[in-house]
């Protein structure tokens, strides 16, 4: 396995990255991948989601070009590197696939089991999960040593951090390749071990939850709570505003994972 991964890493400049899921995170990661020079395959079984995801990428890149953040040639080149498909078979040539679908363990396990049957045994299978155990996801896949967490922050094109999560069986070569790939994408990878919520959500969500409790108890109103954290703790966004940005359903799900 280590030898296969090393061989893939040697051809990284001409490799293809697959993104599974064309929602907010998937389309954002696809944009980052394409701008970084990777040929990028964006897959979603929902044709409407694919259309919306590609439209979001196109809009983002045009706005960046208008602001001078990228030149128009870079924008055209990035858009030209992206192909879309409704079939997992389109991912067969990828050296790395990043899954960014709904945060449900059973769904992710089913997808990884299916992917493992379809792609090269050396293909790295990464999950963008923000809280689900990488070891549990990997248990459903053949060669679990090739499974790793690659947790991008939202919005992926802007946020610098990528939390690289090592499952119990993640191979060293897989870890090294994902670190190198994240750096080529212009991100700052930070390695963490597999634990509920990893580092980001294990620290963030209890704070958000406590802010909700403070609001519920009438200690202060929502604006005051957010202002205290912004001005007193130098947070760019208050915890309640951030909860709305993340989505209250997602916050609840993460807290349930931490609780369980």
Catalytic residues: 130, 151, 163, 201
Q: Which residue has the tokens 């923000």?
A: 130
CB 19 within 8 A of CB 29: yes
Is the backbone peptide bond immediately before 155 cis, with ω within 30 degrees of 0? yes
- Spatial CA neighbour of 95 closest among 165, 26, 181, 156: 181
Q: Which two tokens stand for residue 116?
A: 């493992």
DSSP state, 103?
Answer: S
- Spatial CA neighbour of 250 closest among 24, 97, 43: 24
Q: How many angstroms separate the CA atoms of 19 and 32, rounded?
A: 11
Q: How many angstroms separate the CA atoms of 4 and 258, rounded?
A: 35
């Amino acid at each position: 396995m280590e030898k296969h991964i090393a061989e893939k890493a040697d051809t990284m400049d001409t490799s293809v990255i697959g993104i599974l899921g064309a929602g907010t995170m998937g389309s954002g990661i696809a944009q980052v991948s394409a701008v970084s020079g990777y040929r990028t395959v964006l897959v979603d079984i929902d044709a409407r989601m694919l259309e919306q995801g590609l439209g979001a990428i196109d809009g983002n890149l045009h706005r960046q070009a208008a602001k001078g953040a990228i030149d128009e040639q870079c924008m055209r080149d990035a858009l030209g590197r992206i192909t879309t498909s409704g079939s997992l078979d389109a991912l067969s040539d990828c050296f790395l696939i990043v899954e960014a679908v709904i945060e449900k363990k059973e769904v992710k396990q089913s997808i990884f089991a299916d992917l493992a049957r379809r792609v090269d045994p050396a293909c790295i299978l990464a999950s963008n999960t923000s809280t689900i155990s990488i070891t549990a996801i990997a248990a459903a896949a053949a060669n679990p040593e090739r499974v790793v967490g690659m947790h991008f922050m939202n919005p992926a094109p802007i946020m610098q951090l990528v939390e690289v999560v090592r499952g119990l069986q993640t191979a060293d070569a897989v870890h090294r390749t994902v670190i190198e790939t994240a750096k080529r994408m212009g991100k700052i990878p930070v390695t963490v071990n597999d634990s509920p919520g990893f580092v980001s959500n294990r620290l963030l969500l209890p704070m958000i939850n406590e802010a909700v409790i403070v609001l519920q108890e009438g200690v202060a109103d929502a604006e005051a709570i957010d202002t205290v954290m912004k001005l007193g703790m130098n947070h760019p966004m208050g915890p309640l505003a951030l909860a709305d940005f993340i989505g209250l359903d997602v916050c609840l799900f993460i807290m349930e994972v931490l609780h369980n």
